Structure 1
Amino acid sequence: MNLSLLELMEQNATNSSGPETEQSLPEPTSLDPFGYLLDAVAILSWATLSAGTVGIVGNVLSLIVYVKLGFANTINISYVALAVSDLGSCITSMTATFFISPAMKALAQHYRLQLDQAHLGNFIGYWPHVAFSRTTAFFTAWISFERCMCVLFPSRVKLFITRRVTKMVVSAIFVLGCSPLVLAYINLESGWSFDPETNITTVTLFFAFEERPDPFFAALITIYCGIYPVLSWTTVTVCTTFLIIKLRESAKWREANASVSFNASMKSGVNNRNENRTENRITKTVVMIACMFIICSFPDSFTNIGVTVWRKKYSLYGPLRSLVVFVAVIAVLLSLINSSSNIIFYTITGARFRSTLKKMFVK
């Protein structure tokens, strides 16, 4: 989604040799088509900010509810970790979107600053958003995989997916998802210059190496643009397909054996029936989360293809600059929808979640 914005600095890195050769960033003017594009995406920017606000509130509520419910079930630990990652994704995407909004443009004009809004937003907001979005993708993959194990090995899954194992996996996912972000800021420097004649301050961001591409940034592109998306998307798709098939088989079996199932459940007791219902609800919740992730990740996939196939053109400083920003804004908006919708799925399928959430507002 935002990787096209990430890779632009690798292309332009050789144009900057250090602080002594600072280069001003090209500012969109009234005659610049890109300037018109920033105005055109203003509505999308406000929609993104609105969706981000809803996502922040929803994920905070999810965190509070699952803390109240406790962590006897390992899936609750994964849900909390997913909410934390989604919360970070919402905050960083709102930050990035703010930098291409009319509000940021007006703020820069008020303080007489010359800056490239998309470029600055790329540094401050988009890169961290990419890290959190990849982390969210891994958590979605882990939750899908965990649910598949529960379906395949219902009696033995608690022996190898324990609370300790889940905590270790959650910690590892956060490290794997966010640590490569450090590579984006290695060899990165900033500076500013003031022109007394025009009373304008120019802010510059540049790489401090010469003649060769940055190997650290190239590694970042490979990880965030290639390895992570393929692993997470493939895992989520395979696991979700398996879970949907199992849900359909279970529904057909219950329909065909309704009377037998009722008599058996009366003999086995209420506890077994409640346990089966709980497991089915969890499976449905995971399927909803995974399907939403798959749908909302399509623009991200388009951007990954663009970075790979049209590497020199598909960047903020290439001929497809307008397309890059437009697709990025759409992708961020869909990512926010994905990060904001989980509380809806929890409320629909989770009776305990729904009752706990209701008690927080109705006393």
Structure 2
Amino acid sequence: MWNFNLTRPFIENGTSPVVTQLVSLSLRNTFLTVNGGILLLLSVAGLPINILNMMAFRKLGFDISMNISLFALSAADFACACLYAALAVIMQDMSGLIDLSIDLNDVQFMLGIVIVCLSAYGSCVTALINLERCCCVIFPTKFKDYFTRKSTICLLTAMLAVQMGIIATCTGSSSFSVTKSPTSGGRSRLRLKTSRLGRIFFIELLFWGASVPFMLSFVGIVVSTIFLSTALNQRNRWLKSLPGSQIETIAKNQKLVGTVVAISATYIICFLPKVTVSFVDLFNPALNPMVTSKGNIAFVGVSFMRIFQAFSGMFNIFIYVKMNSKFRQYLKKLLCCSPE
């Protein structure tokens, strides 16, 4: 198997020889079948959901920087849903539930590189949304000067360009060839080929260019979410104490910050397993359960992490519907094919 994580990928094809398996092959295949089915359902559901998200935010207008960021986040979730659907099919083939005409096990590694980069981009976008809301709380009269439509688009484009550059570099230094697999009953196998120098280069590039920004953004999201949740209550109490305070303004602020907190909380919960494994591998690789030397348990652990991440990508629409009346209105029109 191509085993990798968010920190330093392990370029090893095949399970480690002579290893004490904590999970038997039959149990591993059962987990892959069940988890692959769940992953496929979540990823397929995430495709139309994120298309609707993007269409609704487009109709809400890009004159507000937060709508631009949420549109970008939905686009990243849509791309990840496509990749998770492909990974789910490969997992079902690995488990023996289906039999593809060609063994695509090695393709998981290249798909994983793209997912790591898109996860880093989505993490940075979420951190940017939180930063904007924090500035709104701290500098309520000046934050719009900092987060303009132009500055937001420039930041999002720059972050996307960095990750696309990493993906292009990593995929460009590798190639695939079709060979006969002796362990798959003579079935053809799509095997990944890359030079040793190329592997070392794009492992470091992926680590510093995608994994480190992802982990830093995750920490920033946690800190800013805690700040927003406490600052929101304090600010609303202050607004209520003012003479002639506007209840509508207070309610609007609550919903806006509440939306950001809900999105961030969902993100933190769903990506916490992945981040935990990444930090363990960074500081004590011997304890990382997702390396090839751990055998079948690595397959099972990765399959569970993918489910959490796919769930995060399709759940946000429920937060938007609950928190944003205009989003709810536009979404209803889209679903009913109603004219403007």
Normalised by the size of structure 2, how large is the TM-score?
0.84
CA 78–88 in structure 1, closer or farther in 2 if over 3 Å, else same: same
Task: Give the conservation status (yes or no) of the 8 Å contact 1:186–1:216.
Answer: no
2:332 aligned with 1:358: yes
1:38–1:8 Cα change, 3 Å:
farther
User: Retained in 2: the 8 A contact 1:100–1:121?
Assistant: no
Distance 1:193 1:355, change over 3 A: closer
- Tell me whether 1:155 sits opposite 2:141 in the alignment: yes
1:77 Cα offset (Å): 0.7
**Aligned pair 1:217/2:203, yes or no?**
yes
The unaligned stretches of length 5 or more in structure 1 are 13-24, 266-271
Deviation at 1:176, TM superposition (A): 2.6
Do the aligned partners of 1:133 and 1:335 also contact (CA within 8 Å) in 2?
no
Counterparts of 2:122 and 2:181, CA distance in 1: 44
Matched pairs, number: 330
Distance, in Å, in 2 between the alignment partners of 1:240 and 1:5 is 24
| Identity level (%) | 18
Q: 2:308 aligns with which of 334, 346, 349?
A: 334
Of 32, 40, 43, the residue aligned with 1:52 is: 43
Cα pair 2:29 2:96 within 8 Å, conserved: no
RMSD: 3.3
Task: Label 1:357 to 1:195 Cα distance change in 2 as closer, same or farther (>3 A).
Answer: closer
Indicate the residue corresponding to 2:226 in structure 1. 241
Q: After TM superposition, give the deviation of residue 60 of structure 1 in Å.
A: 0.9
SS at match of 2:10: helix
Q: Which whole-Å CA distance do the structure 2 matches of 1:302 and 1:195 have between them?
A: 35
Could you list the runs of 4 or more consecutive aligned residues of structure 1 that deviate by over 6 angstroms after TM superposition? none
Question: What residue number does 1:188 align with?
Answer: 174
The equivalent position to 2:107 in structure 1, one of 93, 115, 120, is: 120
1:75 aligns with 2:66: yes
Structure 1 residue 40 displacement after superposition:
2.3
Q: Given the superposition, is the C-alpha separation of residues 4 and 327 from structure 1 closer, same or farther in structure 2, using an over 3 Å criterion?
A: farther
> Which deviations, in whole Å up to 9, do the C-alpha atoms of 1:264-291 show, x marking residues without a partner?
14xxxxxx65444333321111111111
203 and 317 in structure 1: CA distance in 2 versus 1, 3 angstrom threshold: farther
Q: Who is 2:116 aligned against?
A: 130
Using a 3 Å threshold, how does the CA distance of structure 1 residues 184 and 108 change in structure 2: closer, same or farther?
farther
Q: Is residue 321 of structure 2 the alignment partner of residue 321 of structure 1? A: no
Contact persistence 1:188–1:205 (CA under 8 A): no
Residue 297 of structure 1: aligned partner:
271
Q: CA deviation at 1:350?
A: 0.5
Query: Structure 1-normalised TM-score?
Result: 0.79
Letter in 1 for 2:117: A
Q: Does 1:88 align with 2:88?
A: no
Deviation at 1:74, TM superposition (A): 1.4
Post-superposition shift, 1:213?
6.0
What are the Cα deviations for residues 294-338 of structure 1, in whole angstroms up to 9, with x where unaligned?
111111123213433564785877331322222211111111111
Q: Is the 8 A contact 1:66 1:353 kept in 2?
A: yes
Find the residue that maps to 1:132 and give its secondary structure: helix
Contact 1:314 1:321 in 2 (8 A): no
